[in-house]
Structure 1
Amino acid sequence: MPVETDAEVREILGKKTVAVVGCSSTPGKDAHEIPKYLQAQGYEIIPVNPNADTVLGRSAYDSLSDVEEEIDIVDVFRPSAEVAGIVDEALARDDVEVIWLQLGIHDDEAVARAEAAGLRVVQNRCMKPEHQRLIASA
């Protein structure tokens, strides 16, 4: 089932380990600034970027499959064409509970597969403003 209500988003934001696929080491980019904000709010950010050694003071993983820690949320900052592969990697794990697709990132078929497998999917929302609106302002 798609995540739609504020209560559902608030509950998801209560999960604290976020693998950020496409996490950028470049300050100023959304894929850097949003994970940086979340890290400052107490989230454990696991950067996934094959082109970076470290991001936000953490070693970056080449792929979601390589991540050794437990993951609650997979936050996707990659083009829509890459979502299917990311969902496949998430489904191959037994710890991922949520796929979060940032604004403008879509793949209806991959989302349907994730939901059919029991994962929750957030689409067309950004974690930072949702956190600010539902958690930080509470």
Structure 2
Amino acid sequence: MPVESDEELREILELETIVVVGCSATPGKAAHGVPKFMRDHGYEIIPVNPYADEIFGKVPYDSLSEVDEDVDIVDVFRPSEEVSDIADEAIERDDADVVWTQQGIRDREAGERVEAAGKQYVEDRCLKVEYQRLMT
């Protein structure tokens, strides 16, 4: 089952490094505003977007599997039908302990694979909303 309890969500939100798959370079889009908010609140944001040249002063990675840095949370800002492949990339990583899909993004089967690999899965929740609700 995806993470539901506030206690577990708080623990996740105490982690520091978030790789954002589908991070947008376009202000006004949620895929830009949410990571910017998290960055402004002390999180390390690692953008993944094969079409952008720069996001938050960084060159984004083309895919999750190319990310060199250690990451805690894989935040998914891609359509639900892309979650499965992203989840598989996250499962392959030793460092990513959490796969988090933003509001409206769901893939129960991918979530079950993430959990079977010993990682946490948060589905259909906004990082910013949960941060504001639980951490402020």
Greater CA deviation, 14-23 or 127-136? 127-136
Is 1:122 matched up with 2:126?
A: no
Question: In the aligned structure 2, how far is the partner of 1:95 from the partner of 1:72?
Answer: 6
* Counterpart for residue 89 of structure 2: 89
Given residue 112 of structure 1, which amino acid in structure 2 is its aligned partner? E
- What TM-score, normalized by structure 2, do the two folds share? 0.98
Question: In the aligned structure 2, how far is the partner of 1:53 from the partner of 1:44?
Answer: 19
* Counterpart for residue 14 of structure 1: 14
Is 1:39 matched up with 2:25?
A: no
Question: In the aligned structure 2, how far is the partner of 1:42 from the partner of 1:35?
Answer: 11
Q: Which runs of 5+ in 1 are unaligned?
A: none
Q: What's the % identity of the aligned pairs?
A: 60
Q: Stretches of 4+ moved more than 6 A in 1?
A: none
Is 1:60 matched up with 2:60?
A: yes
Given residue 103 of structure 1, which amino acid in structure 2 is its aligned partner? Q
RMSD, aligned α-carbons: 0.7
Listed one character per residue, the Cα deviations across residues 86-136 of structure 1 (whole Å, up to 9, x for unaligned) are 011111111000000101111111111111011101111100011111112
Question: In the aligned structure 1, how far is the partner of 2:91 from the partner of 2:7?
Answer: 25
Given residue 76 of structure 2, which amino acid in structure 1 is its aligned partner? V
- What TM-score, normalized by structure 1, do the two folds share? 0.96
Question: In the aligned structure 2, how far is the partner of 1:31 from the partner of 1:56?
Answer: 12
Q: Which runs of 5+ in 2 are unaligned?
A: none
Question: In the aligned structure 2, how far is the partner of 1:92 from the partner of 1:5?
Answer: 26
Question: In the aligned structure 2, how far is the partner of 1:61 from the partner of 1:53?
Answer: 9
Given residue 128 of structure 2, which amino acid in structure 1 is its aligned partner? K
Question: In the aligned structure 1, how far is the partner of 2:14 from the partner of 2:123?
Answer: 17
Question: In the aligned structure 1, how far is the partner of 2:19 from the partner of 2:8?
Answer: 19
Greater CA deviation, 19-28 or 108-117? 108-117
Given residue 101 of structure 1, which amino acid in structure 2 is its aligned partner? T
